[in-house]
Amino acid sequence: MKSSDYQAALQYLYSFVDYEKLPGAAPPVRTLNLVTGLLEKLGNPESRWPSVHVTGTKGKGSTATMIANIAAESGYRVGLYTSPHLLSYRERMVINGRKIPKGVFCELVEKARPVLDTYLRDSAEPPSFFDVWTALAFVYFAESQVDLAVVEVGLGGRLDSTNVLMPDAAVITPIGLDHTDRLGSTIREIAIEKAGIVKQSVPTISAPQVVEAQSVILDTCQSLDSRLIQVGTDIQFSREGTHSSGQVFSVNDSRSEYRNLVLGLRGAYQIENAVTAIATVEALNEGRISIAPKAVGRALKDVNMPGRLQVIQQNPTILMDGAHNTLAIRTLVQSLDDLYPHRRVIFVLSLNQDKDVDGMCRILSAAGDEFIVANRRIVHKRQVNPETVATRLRLSGKPVAVTEGVAEALDLSRAKAGVKDLVCVTGSLYLVGEMLEIFHDMEPEETFSRDI
């Protein structure tokens, strides 16, 4: 396959409007009719495999990945659908840890194109880029005959393109304020949107939640006769310490095989995500999927999540984390205090317009010693003007610099950091992805999202 074929396939998909890249472009009223009609024309692929549906404000990508890894370790062929990506759109369609090959992706687009062209030509409101990408992923999983698909919500839940599923389990990770322009201005309003993935008589697994979110989830589950399994209440856990391979924890009220599990991810919050994943596979065990207990330990020890507390250099330590909302930034700062106590911290950041910028800047201002605000190229139009972010950070009285690009930010952070200092790149997965490309001198796989 020629690389130009892959670029041509991507270019065709770019003809569908991408609300991820165009803040404020989404229609004020949205339904699932478009994606439902599209999937019907494609043979309803979503009905051909069992699924787990995952939403939340923080940790849903990590939790979804752990669930998929555990199921794959049990011998199943498992599809994993997540968003956004770090380096390649193909990261969004994964089977047993392998992203969709370029050639297969091109064939997938070509086969679906007659249906897509009809929608582009005849529909008053054609499906969005995410609608199309979701439909293609579901076709890919069906044609690949997966035994299970773990599907992460793109935005919210109730009206997200993925909410056409009738899953075997619904999973809700911690809920906080995010996408307030689209989901609501309070925790309760956002929780109502997230709880929209709960289905009649389908078990729901919830990570620990603040009171307002927990109340909404409980009421929704009761109204739909959905058995609610709450991490921290129905399934308890404890952190036992650290290991050369990661963190050690136990699930206190489960089977003995879940003692002293090793999790190959850093950050205490990842233990909570891991327990949510364990609670989910326990629920799957009561249905069509049978998980081997030993698979849990093997899968969690080997799990890998690029862009989550990922260290790419030592002396000075350069760490990347895609925290992109207030809840995630607060969790990141807590993790840095735990992992790197008493270190001087330089934050390199870029923030998006649809976030609580003031809240994120307040948390970072208190935690950091110096700041570099980078003007990124990837999904450029969604970022807050770097000078605006810098102005808010300067209220702390600490040094703040603004760079024209991400490469300059990396060079400046290295120049400013002492051997024992910590450089933390955060605020956006788009920034983390661009920084990884620059750090590893990688040729970008797609360039359409640059400077738009």
Between CA 118 and CA 20 the distance in angstroms is 23
Q: Are 130 and 19 in contact (CB under 8 A)?
A: yes
Q: Are 349 and 375 in contact (CB under 8 A)?
A: no
Give the tens place of pLDDT for each residue, 405-447: 999 999 999 999 999 999 999 999 999 999 999 999 988 887 7
* 45 Cβ contact partners less than 8 Å away, ≥ 6 residues apart: 39, 135, 138, 139, 141, 142, 143
Among the listed residues 223, 130, 213, the one whose alpha carbon sits nearest the alpha carbon of residue 172: 213
Between CA 97 and CA 80 the distance in angstroms is 8
Confidence (pLDDT) at 181: 62
Q: Angle, nearest 10°, between helix axes 429-439 and 406-416?
A: 80
Q: Please provide residue 345's backbone torsions phi and psi, each rounded to the nearest 5 degrees.
A: -115, 130
Confidence (pLDDT) at 29: 61
| pTM recorded for the entire structure | 0.93
Q: Are 83 and 92 in contact (CB under 8 A)?
A: yes
CATH 3.40.1190.10 domain span(s) along the chain: 3-302
CATH match for 3-302 among 3.30.70.60, 3.40.1190.10, 3.40.718.10, 3.40.50.300: 3.40.1190.10
Between CA 335 and CA 142 the distance in angstroms is 39
Confidence (pLDDT) at 446: 72
Confidence (pLDDT) at 273: 97
* 409 Cβ contact partners less than 8 Å away, ≥ 6 residues apart: 348, 372, 373, 374, 403, 435
* 146 Cβ contact partners less than 8 Å away, ≥ 6 residues apart: 49, 76, 77, 78, 79, 95
Confidence (pLDDT) at 256: 54
CATH 3.90.190.20 domain span(s) along the chain: 310-439
Residue ranges of the chain whose pLDDT lies below 70? 1-3, 19-29, 178-182, 244, 253-257, 448-449, 451-452
Between CA 399 and CA 273 the distance in angstroms is 35
Report which secondary-structure segment, H or E, holds 159. Answer: none
Report CA torsion sign: 81, 85, 88, 89.
positive
Between CA 90 and CA 98 the distance in angstroms is 9
Confidence (pLDDT) at 342: 93
Distances (CA, A) of 441 to 81, 379, 413, 437, 438: 27, 20, 17, 6, 5
Distances (CA, A) of 112 to 92, 120, 126, 363: 18, 12, 15, 46
Beta bridge partners of 450: 378
Between CA 309 and CA 40 the distance in angstroms is 40
Q: Please provide residue 170's backbone torsions phi and psi, each rounded to the nearest 5 degrees.
A: -110, 135
> Regarding the domain delimited by 310-439, which CATH topology (the fold level of the hierarchy) does it fall under?
Protein-Tyrosine Phosphatase; Chain A (3.90.190)
Query: Hey, how many other C-beta atoms are within 10 angstroms of the C-beta on 62?
Result: 24
The end-to-end CA distance of the chain, in Å, is 28
Strands 310-313 and 317-320: antiparallel
Q: Are 173 and 63 in contact (CB under 8 A)?
A: yes
Among the listed residues 159, 101, 162, the one whose alpha carbon sits nearest the alpha carbon of residue 133: 162
Place of tokens 């803040």: 23
Confidence (pLDDT) at 63: 98
Beta bridge partners of 55: 172
Confidence (pLDDT) at 255: 56
